[in-house]
Amino acid sequence: MPLLIVIGAILLLVILVAWFKLNTFLSFLIVSLLMGLALGMDISAITQSIQTGIGKTLGSLIVVIVAGSMLGKLVAESGAGQRIAGGLMKLLGPKYVQWSLMITGFVVGIPLFYNIGFVLMVPLIFMVAGRTGLPAVYLGIPMLASLSVTHGYLPPHPSPTALVQTFHASMGLTLLYGILVAIPAIILAGPVFSRFLKGYTNPPSQIFTTKELPENDIPGMGASLFAAMLPVLLLAFTAVAKLWIPENTFGYKVASWLGDPLIVMLLAVLNGMYLLGLRRKTPMKKVMGLMDEAVKDVAVIILVIGGSGALTQLLNDSKVSSYIADSLQQLHLHPLVLAWGIAAIIRVCIGSATVAGLTTAAIVAPLIPASGVNPNLMVLATGAGSLMFSHVNDAGFWMFKEYFNLTVKDTIKTWSVMETIVSVTGLAGTLLLSLFV
């Protein structure tokens, strides 16, 4: 019955948004309230879960989204994105621009948290789409597939890192095996799958779209790359530094502080303001005007993400994830398939890849010593399952929908299918790798 209630709630959400065209944030609130009542939760507990979910989700994302939007606005309006897009086109040519974006997403995605990578890379995708005339969805899917895979499979991202510890795996081997599994997953979900997406010619959201500027009026390649990629450089530098600096030392604390997403994005915005604005004699008033526009542009997206957090928290507080996991634990399956399956179903019901991965870890960790399965591969199988079929209860789904200006139906046919390919290919690659390690 709890599972049927969750399925019914998700269907109601789809109907309210897609059929009745109700505001997405209000739809989330209505569905969360009704689902809580159907699950027998106390009325006060329902409202508390909604408030907690919105607060927790926005508390961790709002700085990243707003600061990323500000930096993205600077990159787009100053012409830095145009300069970077031109450099990519000259390096690999228009024929392979999709592959260049995919590789960029993978390299950037290893040290970069997913949400930061998303808001930083979307302006570049839009700029390349404007330069080449190719659909934004066609260009964006390969890069976002790369970001998604690194988020779900590879340390130092939060969920894989926690899974390494829970399963007593090796961080280095997990990263090595993860890259081997990630490459075919990204290629299939990116350039191969996106061949079928050229028909999605919707103009992207106006958040970062700008007119092309004369070559003499835009920043140089060095300044453009440094401004756009400073978050990547900071995260990569601090991650490497923490491997060499002993823990519990002052240097380690400084590296950890500089690697915090909040600090990274704040420094990136300040650097962007200088390199792309003030240094080029742009008046402070105009720079601040761009910042204000960036905040207004993402206000709707912030509300939608907050609504999805309310639904996720309610599902978690109602113990639905535990109910589903306990039911699946009785099945006699290969540990890798079991870990992937449990994570996949929790992901579909809850929406959070991190919650799905960590919940699954608590269930299947005791199976590792008895079965003799490679713990590094268990990390990858669980991570792959946690990416399965992102849909209306996942913040990433709504970010993609709003940024790329798609309907719910088209978002499912593009984004959700891409995430499914990434998940299933990850399981297949992990099972194949288990024959050799």
Q: Could you read off the pLDDT of 273-316 as tens digits, one per residue?
A: 999 999 998 999 999 998 998 888 788 878 887 887 888 788 77
Cα-based angle 289, 115, 148 (whole degrees, multiple of 5):
145
- Provide the whole-model pTM: 0.73
pLDDT score for 324: 61
328 band by pLDDT with thresholds 50, 70 and 90: low
Instruction: Provide mean pLDDT across the span 63-84.
Output: 82
136 band by pLDDT with thresholds 50, 70 and 90: very high
pLDDT score for 111: 61
Start-to-end C-alpha separation, the chain:
41
Which residues fall within 8 angstroms of residue 250, CB to CB, at 6 or more apart?
none
Instruction: Provide mean pLDDT across the span 386-394.
Output: 92
Report the alpha-carbon distance of residue 322 to residue 342 in Å, rounded: 10
Instruction: Provide mean pLDDT across the span 98-110.
Output: 83
Report the alpha-carbon distance of residue 88 to residue 165 in Å, rounded: 39
Report the alpha-carbon distance of residue 60 to residue 53 in Å, rounded: 11
62 band by pLDDT with thresholds 50, 70 and 90: confident
326 band by pLDDT with thresholds 50, 70 and 90: low
Residue whose entry in the numeric block shows the structure tokens 């990434």: 422
* Average pLDDT across the chain, whole number: 86
- Report pLDDT digits (tens) over 75-89: 878 888 778 767 777
pLDDT score for 215: 80
Helix axes 171-187, 97-109, angle to 10 degrees: 160
pLDDT score for 72: 79
What is the CB neighbour count within 10 angstroms for residue 245? 16
pLDDT score for 36: 93
Tell whether the model's pLDDT for residue 421 goes beyond 60: yes
Report the alpha-carbon distance of residue 324 to residue 160 in Å, rounded: 22
Give the pair of three-digit tokens for residue 395: 């913040």
pLDDT score for 351: 83
Tell whether the model's pLDDT for residue 209 goes beyond 70: no
pLDDT score for 202: 85
What is the CB neighbour count within 10 angstroms for residue 324? 20
